[in-house]
Amino acid sequence: GIDPNFDENREHVGEENGLDVWGPVDPPEKLGIHGAHVAVDYDICIADGACLENCPVDVFDWVDTPDHPESEKKVEPTREDQCIDCMLCVDICPVDAIDVDAS
Ligand code: SF4
Ligand code: F3S
């Protein structure tokens, strides 16, 4: 699953759509972790969709990631500033791709 200490263990390599990106990044195969308060490891996400469908405040949007080995789309935590720390997405993801820093 996602490393909950990604902000210490990974390099901040820039921003995409206003969200922090944590490397290593080498597209299309390696896309890194996207977000900060709500962070999604794009290299683990298999596009299950349960997070996006069930988030009570609609934090996520789909983004296309053609030729990524795990899935052709990922959930971007576009509205992570709206997150209410319910932890539903963290608990429901079958591959543990999401970290929410509720502290
Ligand atoms: Fe949405 Fe809850 Fe996940 Fe925050 S913790 S992104 S509110 S499902
Ligand atoms: Fe991806 Fe897990 Fe959501 S696989 S789409 S982060 S439920």
CATH number for 13: 3.30.70.20
In this prediction the ipTM stands at: 0.99
Q: What is the pLDDT of residues 87-101, one digit of tens each?
A: 999 999 999 999 999
Angstrom distance (rounded) from CA 51 to CA 55: 6
State CA 75 to chain mean position distance: 6
Q: Is residue 26 part of a domain?
A: yes
14-63 per-position pLDDT tens digit: 999 999 999 999 999 999 999 999 999 999 999 999 999 999 999 999 99
- Provide the domain count of the chain: 1
What's the pLDDT score for residue 71? 98
Give the closest ligand to the alpha carbon of residue 89: 1
Contact 60, 77 (CB under 8 A): yes
Residue range(s) defining the domain that contains residue 48: 6-100
pLDDT of residue 1 exceeding 80: yes
**β partners of residue 20:** 15
Burial of 38 by CB count in 10 Å (0-12 exposed, 13-18 middle, 19+ buried)?
A: buried
Please give the distance, rounded to the nearest whole angstrom, from the Cα atom of residue 81 to the centre of ligand 1.
10
52 CB within 6 A, ligand 1: no
Q: Is 54 domain-assigned?
A: yes
Atom of ligand 1 nearest to the CA of 38: 6
- Looking at the domain assignment, is residue 52 inside a domain? yes
